[in-house]
Amino acid sequence: MLARLIESHEIAKEVRHFTFEVPEVNELPYLAGQFVSFTHDVGGKEITRAYSTASSPYRNRFELCLNRVEDGLFSPLLFDMQPGDTLAMTGPLGYFTWREPMKDSILVATGTGIAPFRGMLQSYLDSGGDREITLVF
């Protein structure tokens, strides 16, 4: 599958919010908190990196919140992408999602580690849940 960048914007110094779509499908089924993996040729070597989604499922789109790793192999590539650019993608995958039945929860995150909680909280609020959720950031 290919993920196409729709837009990105800076949300803090060296931190960007990205919105991608997967044009091959009308619906991208996933659970908030799962991750996608991107693969790209970097310097003649195929590199794959996994990134937690930062959104609840919506049609064929997903969002990411990432920090730029100065000497990183992949984040500089993502930060240089322009709308319309594509990357090979697999997923969404992973088990870092809400467990049923829902219980009162405390979520703890730092930096862009808040990304999966953002999507999980959006999804939970959209569902009209009645549990007490505390986010410590």
Residue 122 φ then ψ, to 5°: -60, -50
On whether the 2-132 domain is CATH 2.60.40.1180, my answer is no
The pLDDT of residue 10 is 93
The pLDDT of residue 93 is 94
Block means of pLDDT (10 residues each) for the chain, length 137 residues? 95 94 93 94 90 92 93 90 95 89 89 89 86 90
The pLDDT of residue 58 is 87
The pLDDT of residue 54 is 94
Q: Which two tokens stand for residue 92?
A: 């969404």
Q: Which two tokens stand for residue 130?
A: 């009645």
The pLDDT of residue 42 is 84
